[in-house]
Structures are given as C-alpha cells and as structure tokens.
C-alpha cells in the first residue's frame, strides 16, 4: 500500500494516520469514493462528497466554517488527495488526507457502517487489483 500511495500521490494534502483520528468528535470525514462504494460501507458519520461528482458549492453550504477540521478519504488515499486539493483551494484551512483510506482503516480493525448505519464487515474493494490491498473484511465489487 505504501508503494502505491507514494507513487500515485504528491503529498499536496497533509496526511493524517488513522490512529490520530479514531473517535475524535470534532472531525468531519468526507468520503470521496463513488456512491456505490459509500453505500456498501463508510466511516461512521462520514459525508459523501464523491469524486467526479464533487460539488464545492454544496459542500460550502454543509460546512460553512473554513476552520472545520476535515479528513478526506477514499480506498487508499489517491482520489481523496485530489478532493483535498480542491478544498484547500476553496480556502479550507484544516484539511488532511487519511493515509491508507478506508482499506487501512478496516485492515487495522476499525469499524465501518453500511447505508443504514449498521456496522458491517463489507468494504467495496474498487476492483480486483486494488482489492489486494484490503486484507480484512468482506470484499465487495460492483
């Protein structure tokens, strides 16, 4: 996973490790994956913002304070870096990229929830290649 992240990301959005954010109430988590991935499972209370469908104006309505601590995530942290860059360009001051994304979160034993808010073992693994990086939980593909 580390090799994939370092080869695909520029580090333009500061990383935060999952151990630093677990159970912190003041952080707003933004899921930058597809809606299908989000509906399979996501971090509890995460807001779905998507990637290709990201709407900055809608986000500003949901999170008006530019000082809000925001953590963006995706499968491993590649798509979320792109959205994090957009947030920084919009003037948000406290944006971090979850290192390893939902895959590392689940691999480390932290819970994810389904579209009904119930804890689940299912995680959308994106595709067979990326799915190799998900070592815990039940892999789901479209």
Q: Tens digits of per-residue pLDDT, 77-99? A: 999 999 999 999 999 999 999 99
CA distance 49 to 38: 10
Question: What residues have CB less than 8 Å from 127, skipping those under 6 apart?
Answer: 141
Count of domains forming the chain? 1
CA distance 32 to 78: 10
Instruction: Provide the domain limits for residue 74.
Output: 2-140
Is the model's pLDDT at 105 over the cut of 70?
yes
CA distance 26 to 15: 17
Is the model's pLDDT at 26 over the cut of 90?
no
What single-letter DSSP state applies at residue 17? Answer: -
Q: What is the pTM of this model?
A: 0.95
Residues 35-39, mean pLDDT to the nearest whole number: 97
Structure-model confidence comparison of residues 22 and 88, the more confident one:
88
Question: What residues have CB less than 8 Å from 23, skipping those under 6 apart?
Answer: none
What single-letter DSSP state applies at residue 46? Answer: P
CATH number of the CATH domain containing 119: 3.40.250.10
**Cβ of 112: how many Cβ atoms within 10 Å?**
20
Q: In the 3-class helix/strand/coil scheme, how is 86-131 assigned residue by residue?
A: HHHHCCCCCEEEECCHHHHHHHCCCCEECCCCCEECEEECCCHHHH
As a whole number, the mean pLDDT across the chain is 95
Is the model's pLDDT at 46 over the cut of 90?
yes
**Residue 54 pLDDT grade (very low, low, confident, very high; cuts 50, 70, 90):** very high
What are 110-125's pLDDT values in tens digits? 999 999 999 999 999 9
Residues 8-13, mean pLDDT to the nearest whole number: 94
**Residue 19 pLDDT grade (very low, low, confident, very high; cuts 50, 70, 90):** confident
- Helix (H) or strand (E) segment spanning residue 71: strand 70-73
């Amino acid at each position: 996973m580390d090799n994939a992240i370092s080869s695909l990301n520029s580090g333009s959005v500061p990383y935060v490790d999952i151990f630093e954010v677990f159970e912190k109430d003041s952080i707003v988590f933004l899921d930058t994956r597809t809606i299908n991935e989000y509906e399979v499972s996501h971090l509890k209370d995460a807001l779905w913002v998507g990637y290709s469908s990201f709407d900055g104006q809608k986000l500003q309505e949901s999170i008006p304070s530019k000082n809000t601590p925001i953590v963006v995530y995706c499968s491993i942290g590649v798509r979320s870096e792109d959205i994090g860059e957009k947030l920084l360009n919009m003037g948000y001051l406290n944006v971090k990229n979850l290192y390893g994304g939902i895959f590392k979160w689940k691999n480390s034993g932290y819970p994810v929830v389904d579209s009904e808010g119930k804890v689940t073992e299912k995680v959308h693994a994106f595709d067979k290649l990326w799915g190799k990086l998900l070592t815990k939980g039940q892999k789901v593909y479209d």
